[in-house]
Homo-oligomer: A and B are copies of this chain.
Amino acid sequence: MVVAKSWTMVKHFDGAPKPEDFKLVENELPALKDGELMLESVCLTVDPYMRFFGSQITKEDITIRSLVPRLYRRKMMKEGDIMIGAQVARVTESKNPEFPVGGYYVAQGGWTTHFISDGKGLHALPSCWPESLPKSLAIGAVGISGLTAYFGLLEVCSPKKGDVVLVNSAAGSVGSIVGQIAKMKGCKVVGSASSDEKVEYLKEIGFDEAFNYKTVSSLEEALKAASPEGYDCYFENVGGKFAEAALQQMKDFGRIAVCGVISMYNDPVITSGPYIQPYILFKQIRMEGFLVSRWEDRYEEAKKQLLQWVLEGKLKYHEHITNGFENMPAGFIGMLKGENIGKAIIKV
């Protein structure tokens, strides 16, 4: 008999998620039926989007409601739901010959130690995965974080050799990869992060310029100093005030990929700033939001490329590991506060 431990969201997040918003529950899982398999989580990912999908959406709250695309409405969590999310999991028992015991898969099982699957939606780690490489990379640099950076930068920002690329939350799981791919494409890369230690890390992995946005006296001046000529591409992870300052430094025909707005997820209503349409207009800027799932049919090709870059040492990764499934909410809360360098991972 397998007992699954799972973290549920007992209360919709109000501002920053708090430890008491989560509850650990235990469930006895039933015996496997034919075609099913039992999975045990090895490591799990915590990501900013989970904060958004834990927001309460009332009938009255037009702004937030209208934000959630039809496709994603069913993802919005109700109180008592198991937290959504992905993990690398190992098959411990199988009544499905396609998924042998001992195999490792990336799954969307939510925050849980064990779960039963019929195999749908499971993605095997690439067959050439070397033993030396942490399997957690399959939910990080060679998984969703890497894919997000890869497609967002290459497909939405379309950087050309010589372009100046700006990325914020640059020491995070996605930003750190965006910067490195941009360097490989011959761009000058500027990153902003929330600590001097992170800035140091960005320089180590090849960023041309990096600054701590928390300690600069003016965001505008910091952006100007890092690239007096302005920016061709801007990979947006933050939103809010940062976006406002960055827009002013865009070059004509600049391209902005909106990947996340982490500074805004905790706000109960969407905060205000100057309308951006005049900038968009006179500088002929293209701004596009994306959810990486739109390129799902190209994931395999991209994962292969990312894995190759990692193996060649061209793509460096860093993981911020929280040990113990019981510490998962703390790991999530810490990630939202920006405590991590690179990918925030929970090891069961």
Contact = CB atoms under 8 A, between A and B. Distances in A.
Contacts of A236: 277
Given A248-B62, A252-B71, A280 B288 contact: yes
16 contacts: A69-B283, A69-B284, A239-B278, A240-B275, A240-B277, A264-B277, A269-B274, A270-B275, A271-B274, A276-B276, A281-B291, A285-B288, A285-B289, A286-B286, A286-B287, A286-B288
B258 A277 contact: yes
A315 to B, nearest CB: 25
Contacts of A215: none
A273 B272 CA distance: 5
A289 B284 contact: yes
A129 interface: no
Interface residues of A, number: 48
A239 B275 contact: yes
A48 to B, nearest CB: 11
Interface in A263-309: 264, 269-291, 294
A226 interface: no
Nearest to A156: B286
Interface string A67-79: 1111110000000
Contacts of A71: 252
Given A248-B63, A284-B288, A261 B273 contact: no
B220 A62 contact: yes
A283 B260 CA distance: 12
A63 B277 contact: no
Number of this chain's copies in the complex: 2
Given A70-B252, A284-B294, 11 more contacts: A69-B252, A69-B282, A240-B277, A258-B277, A260-B281, A271-B275, A276-B276, A282-B289, A283-B289, A284-B288, A284-B289
A318 to B, nearest CB: 25
Contacts of A280: 258, 287-289
A71 to B, nearest CB: 6
B291 A288 contact: no
B289 A281 contact: yes
A68 B240 contact: no
A259 interface: yes
Interface in A25-75: 52, 62-63, 66-72
A300 B303 CA distance: 45
Interface string A204-247: 00000000000000001000000000000000100110011000
A220 B272 CA distance: 19
